Chain A
Amino acid sequence: MADYFLQHLPHWPVFAWFPDWVNVALAYVLTAAIHAALLNVVVAAGALVFIWLERKVSGRIQDRLGPTRVGGKFGWLQTLADGIKLIAKEDLMPAGADGMLFRMAPYISFGASYVAYIALPFADGWVAAPLNTGVFFILAVMGLEVFGVILGGYSSASKWSLFGAMREAAQVVSYEVPLGMCVVVPVLLCGTMDLVEIGNMQAGWFTNWLVFHDPFTFVTSIVYFTCALASVNRAPFDLAEAESELVAGFHTEYSGLRWSLFFMAEYGSMFTVSGLAAILFFGGWHGPIPITSLLGLAGNDNAFLAYVANLIGMANFIGKAVFGVTFMMWVRWTFPRLRIDQVMTTCLKYCVPIAAAMFLGVLWWTYNDLPGGAWLAAPYAERLRIESPAAAEPKTEVPAKVAVSERGV
């Protein structure tokens, strides 16, 4: 999109009068603004839908109906009604609270959860900021969310909040370690941290998905999902909230829309970790059956057909991520909450050693050139072929780089 503006902006009526550097800057700012607006809509709408979905799913699991009245048969306007109710609520702050931190904390959680979306590709090249360290960026930014929770809990001057915040700190901090180890595995296999490239390497049939690459990646994906659950503190790892023990945990003292920021941050990051799982292990925007390439849509020179292929890919990706979120809801209403000591044991005594073993297993697998299904889509198979030291002849040609990011929105 930036390229489009760079090309066309100087020819538009008013802009033609501006000096070049203004137009270049405007092109980038305009692109970024459009991306930001799009993603804001996606994230906000996502939160509305997921909150409704959560109530519906939990209702059904407990043999209830869930919301049924607001907005017709399925109660799908329930979240909006809740939002309007929250607007009419008083924004309270405890007398002993640290005002600045108390007010700042929801923004940190909310901002961190939203900014992670910027590096999350929705289809081939459809990413707001094509970062070549996308995985890293998302992990780092998601890690910031915990600061909001800790600050909110600490500054509330309430004991429930403080307990919730300290639990969250210990839990999220420990689960970053196995989470990082699990994410290293796809990075190792693909030789890149660019999420668009990782996704594209799994093109083709579902056997190309990294989860089916070898037994170790299969286990890694399970460990990843466990740690992702813990890092967004969803049940059974929702010790920071623990409504049956700590009233509401870290957000006990928050009310009205200020509280809803924490809530939306939670649903936002649920989508992010599910989307990350979809890209890293479950093929990203490539469906189980490569419809787009069978029909000749993907990689087509016709811009419109390629666009349609990308739309189908986006539907695939969002479908997988929503499935991940629904799975988290299913887990939440199925398993009882763990105790804090069980949480720490699960992390450091099980997840870390298992993740490390899987990492070594994948290493062993790749170094022995064991089969990985039909893995590695054609352009990348060339690119990733490792020359053995014995046959280290001078390179004849640099492998053609597939400029994925240039095909962008």
Chain B
Amino acid sequence: MQPAILPILLFVAASTGLGIVLLSVGWVFGPRRNTAVKEMPYESGMDPIHDARRRFDIRFHIVAIAFLLFDVELLFLYPWAVANRHPEGIAQAVTDKLVDDRMLVFGEVMVFIALLAAGLVYIWRKGVLRWR
């Protein structure tokens, strides 16, 4: 059995290495004549006003929270989706008397999706999806 993590790690290293090689080629051949004007952040030709590190809109925060809720709960659908039709999945569990009935599991998933839907309707009514 091939250790699955090894090729992945090696590929991370390979891609990073490719990036480093590319950038060092640029570092060797590129010019290095830095001036204060070149180091200014670009603001369409004007001298920059204020620092760029400022507070930004709360809307992004709300979107992020909504994402966390939905995406994390979406993850739970995958194991069920695999087990649903896999012969060693729910069917086997029914045969082994681990689960009473296929439809019970199905019903549970439906309840789960209904909860998600209720959440979506709630944030919709609360106006989270209205980008104003």
Contact residues of A with B, CB < 8 Å? 2, 28-29, 31-33, 35-37, 39-40, 44, 86-97, 106-107, 110-111, 114-115, 117-118, 128-131, 136, 156-162, 166, 169-170, 173-174, 176-177, 180-181, 184, 187-193, 247, 252-253, 256-258, 260-261, 340-341, 344-345, 348-349, 352-353, 356, 359-360, 366-367, 383-387, 389, 392, 394-395, 399
Contacts and interface: CB of A to CB of B under 8 A. Distances in A.
Contact of B60 (A169, A258, A394): A169
A32 B52 contact: no
A338 to B, nearest CB: 11
Nearest to B26: A257
Closest 10 CB pairs of A and B: A341-B131, A191-B85, A158-B41, A257-B26, A114-B15, A36-B14, A32-B7, A191-B86, A95-B39, A188-B81
Nearest to B3: A28
Contacts, number: 229
B40 interface: yes
Given A173-B67, A174-B67, 6 more contacts: A93-B39, A111-B16, A157-B53, A169-B64, A174-B66, A184-B78
A102 to B, nearest CB: 12
Contacts of B89: 191
Nearest to A175: B67
| Consensus secondary structure, chain A interface | helix
26 contacts: A35-B7, A36-B7, A36-B14, A39-B11, A90-B34, A91-B32, A111-B15, A115-B8, A115-B12, A115-B15, A118-B11, A159-B43, A162-B56, A166-B57, A177-B70, A184-B77, A188-B81, A191-B87, A253-B42, A261-B19, A353-B120, A356-B113, A366-B85, A385-B87, A392-B95, A399-B87
B15 to A, nearest CB: 4
A347 to B, nearest CB: 9
Contacts of A344: 63, 129, 131
Contacts of A190: 85
Interface string B87-112: 10101001100000110001000000
Nearest to A341: B131
A36 B10 contact: yes
Contacts of B117: 356
Contacts of A387: 91, 95
Contact of B34 (A92, A158, A176): A92
| Consensus secondary structure, chain B interface | helix
A359 to B, nearest CB: 8
Contacts of B4: 129, 131
Nearest to B68: A173
A252 to B, nearest CB: 6
B26 A89 contact: yes
Given A92-B34, A394-B95, A193 B85 contact: no
A268 B98 CA distance: 45
B16 A2 contact: no
B43 A158 contact: yes
| Most B-side CB within 10 Å, residue of A31, A252, A344, A395 | A344
B21 to A, nearest CB: 10
Contacts of B41: 94-97, 156-159, 161, 253
B81 A187 contact: yes
A31 B52 CA distance: 47
Interface string B65-86: 0110011001101100111111
Interface string B29-49: 111111010111111100010
Contacts of B57: 166
A190 B84 CA distance: 9
B72 to A, nearest CB: 10
A399 B88 CA distance: 10
